Structure 1
Amino acid sequence: MSYPSVTLKKGEGRALKAGGLWVFDNEIAAVSPEVQNGQMISLLDFDGYPMGIGFYNNHSKITVRMMSRHADAVVDEAFLRRRVQAAWDYRKKTVDTASCRVIFGEADFLPGLVVDKFSDILVVQSLALGIDQMKETILRLLTEVLAADGITIRGIYERSDAKVRLQEGMERTKGFLSAPFDTKVEIVENGVRYIVDVQDGQKTGFFLDQKYNRLAIQKLCKGAKVLDCFTHTGSFALNAGIAGAKSVVGVDASQLAVDQATENARLNGLENTVRFQCCDVFSLLPELEQAGEKFDVIILDPPAFTKSRSSMKNAVKGYREINLRAMKLLKDGGYLATCSCSHFMNYELFTQTIGQAAKNVHKRLRQVEYRTQSPDHPILWAADESYYLKFYIFQVCDQY
């Protein structure tokens, strides 16, 4: 099968040629007149050299998302089955698959598509027009691949309600893609039980990318007084509690999140050890300092303070402020777990910002470990957007 063509400008496509998967609108010289948005196309270099195939959408700044570097590839059901099977085979080798991200967009060579598995429920987020047209087929193939391993999927829910769909010329949508089911789904991760709200929770309902980072803090929390900032549904706080923390306070600005976290604490029998409060972390940290509070372990898991390069200055200020405040609240020799989930806050800048915070409050940092996202969110080299989560654990010491 031959697809209509899209041709690059001379000298463009540098990120693509370095291994990236996106072609932006300002890199394109010509488009075959028959090309429709969402359609598969053959991408050609300025001199006609075939670069592979992808799907096209002129509503988006990311005008072409590559599906294959093989110019003769055909995106049919057999092609999609191979991609889905490869994604599942990788998870079986690398993570606990009871609940995991089964498909992670570009990093699984299915651009714009995310599928999370929560026990026997799938939650799908489709963020690009071309893949949206393949969504139904991909989900059917995925349920077949899982069934071949003895896993029966009870239901599928769509959470394609992200604003980015508007940039693709698509409407935001959410709802059942199967027979209706109870959208409060119980999962177990690291020995902790959670109720995941796949209908109204953030994004797909639960942040699976921190799975092994949550596990990493358990060993630090036995017998400790712990503060978990931006707790969301309480995941770090509950890992601290189940590890034997003396007391845990989880803080979030969302009352809905705090209510869910409190429910999760009861589910684990931790309601007497782990408690949650709804307030603004930026306001709370100075108040705790003024009250003379001290903690053995503090966890900072904020939302992305920036989703664009234009707001980086304020984001750096925010990250520096919370890390500085947390360091002042730690006992000498206490532990700080701190992270950023913003792609634009890269490793070098995040590291520099933490270092500046420590310098400003005259603290010494001993790095325990540096981590990224769970392997079910694989980092595809040369596709920088797939590397977004940075996670440090430090021992924070007074100057000697």
Structure 2
Amino acid sequence: MNQCNAVVTIKKGGARSLKSGGLWIYDNEIDQIVGDYENGDLVYVHDFDGYYLGCGFINTYSKITVRIMSRIKGQEIDHEFLAMRVKAAWDYRKTTVDTGSCRIIFGEADFIPGLVVDKFADILVVQSLAMGIDRMKLEILSILREVLETDGISIRGIYERSDAKVRLQEGMERIKGFIGEPFDTKVEIEENGVKYLVDVAEGQKTGFFLDQKYNRAAIAKLCKGARVLDCFTHTGSFALNAGKAGAKEVIGVDASELGVAQATENAMLNGLSDTVKFITADVFDLLPEYEKKGEMFDVVILDPPAFTKSKNSVKNAIKGYREINLRAMKLVKDGGYLATCSCSHFMTPDLFAETISQAAKNVRKRIRQVEYRTQAPDHPILWAADESYYLKFFIFQVVDEK
């Protein structure tokens, strides 16, 4: 596998992210490429002075032109190497999270760039986002099944969700479908004592957002006996955790009719249909309507999609986050709680905190931070790989000015 016939030489002063511990080399950092290669091939990477920096796969279609697999000179990128990486990823999950359903491989943060693998009970869902790793995908999945079987875990099937738009930037087609034998793509999982039916074929991304697992548990203690509003509920995960915790009433809101239908089904699955209700609506339209009606809640939860996926749109995202948090604070009873988050990498923790602070000032509310959290440990944050740190999650108590 490790047939490197080309050498990529970095410009003087380039590859700062790589030298700090990251795995990416951008197109504007490359001085020259010498030797024969095809996109997706492994190449050696040298600094401007010839110093060896690593071995990775190349794709000149992408602004991220090289993704490093190994920094060790002479390291073979072969079956043994991939097995070592996969086993390390699984061993880490066994130590840090509930592995009933979890993310087993998180791309660059697990030193397997461009690949995501989620485990939902006995089903694996794979998302391949880079040309080089796409060639290794089937071998990695075969290794992963063997590693899991060694621990007595049998995998019933694998579904591919490589249908993200980013594949087009890599010069790759968007694809989805079964890898191996077909199976029922609605899979029942349990998380924090709550049951869900996950649709791995039609749900967003890989079917379910595992990264909020422990954040969902964190709001439970605030919801006992409370009236709760869960905005951007998707398939009802925060709402159902609130219901399970003993909330007296929960309203979950999402613009997706499919999401609301799945959330309603999940409420029935957990025997919470009398307490937890879902409605299809645009949250930005609904919150002002609730304000006019004088609706108030003990707990409001905001879990919106990323308002920005690039640096260029951060200013508009700030406006969106400020507006949604401002509206939500108006609906929180004095002394009640706001749980609010951003899943955009480009919305930094400091910027997100400042945006929330401005929203509070605009509506003359005082906010007391109860807790700051981030993504679950099965989505590890690799320092020097900034893109791996994306989820910011605050819980505040909201107090009226007196």
TM class by smaller structure: over 0.9
TM-score with structure 1 setting the length: 0.99
State the partner residue of 2:273.
Answer: 271
State the partner residue of 2:14.
Answer: 12
In the TM superposition, 1:266-305 aligns within 5 A as 266-305=268-307
> Take 2:205 and 2:73, find their aligned partners in 1: how far apart are those partners?
35
> Take 1:218 and 1:268, find their aligned partners in 2: how far apart are those partners?
16
Range that drifts further, 298-307 or 28-37: 28-37
State the partner residue of 1:254.
Answer: 256
**Greater than 3 Å deviation, 4+ residue runs:** none
Letter in 1 for 2:60: N
Instruction: Select which of 34, 52, 55 maps to 1:53.
Output: 55
Instruction: Select which of 147, 150, 162 maps to 2:152.
Output: 150
State the partner residue of 1:30.
Answer: 32
Partner SS for 1:134 = helix
CA gap 1:41/1:266 in 2 versus in 1, 3 angstroms: same
> Take 2:178 and 2:34, find their aligned partners in 1: how far apart are those partners?
37
State the partner residue of 1:197.
Answer: 199
In the TM superposition, 1:103-122 aligns within 5 A as 103-122=105-124
State the partner residue of 1:211.
Answer: 213
> Take 2:352 and 2:270, find their aligned partners in 1: how far apart are those partners?
34
State the partner residue of 1:222.
Answer: 224
Partner SS for 1:110 = coil
> Take 1:389 and 1:157, find their aligned partners in 2: how far apart are those partners?
25
Which structure 1 segments of 5+ residues have no match? none
State the partner residue of 1:163.
Answer: 165
> Take 1:174 and 1:15, find their aligned partners in 2: how far apart are those partners?
32
State the partner residue of 1:315.
Answer: 317
Instruction: Select which of 61, 64, 78 maps to 1:62.
Output: 64
> Take 1:121 and 1:14, find their aligned partners in 2: how far apart are those partners?
39
**Displacement, 1:33?**
3.1
State the partner residue of 1:332.
Answer: 334
Partner SS for 1:322 = helix
Q: Deviations over 1:329-361 (max 9, x none)?
A: 010000000000000001010000000001111
State the partner residue of 1:81.
Answer: 83
Maintained 8 Å contact 1:165/1:171: yes
**Displacement, 1:71?**
2.2
Maintained 8 Å contact 2:123/2:157: yes
Range that drifts further, 5-14 or 168-177: 5-14
**Displacement, 1:73?**
1.1
Residue 351 of structure 2 is aligned to residue 349 of structure 1:
yes
**Displacement, 1:198?**
0.2
State the partner residue of 1:100.
Answer: 102
> Take 2:15 and 2:213, find their aligned partners in 1: how far apart are those partners?
36
> Take 2:200 and 2:146, find their aligned partners in 1: how far apart are those partners?
22
Instruction: Select which of 350, 361, 364 maps to 2:366.
Output: 364
> Take 1:294 and 1:199, find their aligned partners in 2: how far apart are those partners?
37
Which structure 2 segments of 5+ residues have no match? none
Maintained 8 Å contact 1:99/1:117: yes
**Displacement, 1:2?**
6.4
Residue 234 of structure 2 is aligned to residue 232 of structure 1:
yes
State the partner residue of 2:176.
Answer: 174
Q: Percent identity?
A: 73
TM-score with structure 2 setting the length: 0.99
> Take 2:169 and 2:371, find their aligned partners in 1: how far apart are those partners?
38
Letter in 2 for 1:304: A
> Take 1:2 and 1:270, find their aligned partners in 2: how far apart are those partners?
57
Maintained 8 Å contact 1:158/1:174: yes
Instruction: Select which of 130, 133, 146 maps to 2:132.
Output: 130
> Take 1:391 and 1:381, find their aligned partners in 2: how far apart are those partners?
19
**Displacement, 1:59?**
0.6
**Displacement, 1:69?**
1.2
Partner SS for 1:42 = strand
Maintained 8 Å contact 1:13/1:27: yes
**Displacement, 1:15?**
1.4
Maintained 8 Å contact 1:42/1:71: no
State the partner residue of 2:385.
Answer: 383
Maintained 8 Å contact 1:296/1:334: yes
Maintained 8 Å contact 2:3/2:42: no
> Take 2:34 and 2:223, find their aligned partners in 1: how far apart are those partners?
60
Maintained 8 Å contact 1:339/1:391: yes
Partner SS for 1:32 = strand
Letter in 2 for 1:178: G
> Take 1:398 and 1:334, find their aligned partners in 2: how far apart are those partners?
10
Root-mean-square deviation (Å): 0.7
Partner SS for 1:188 = strand
Maintained 8 Å contact 1:251/1:279: yes
Q: Deviations over 1:184-207 (max 9, x none)?
A: 000000000000000000000000
Q: Deviations over 1:19-70 (max 9, x none)?
A: 1110011111111230211011110001111001111000100000011111
> Take 1:13 and 1:208, find their aligned partners in 2: how far apart are those partners?
32
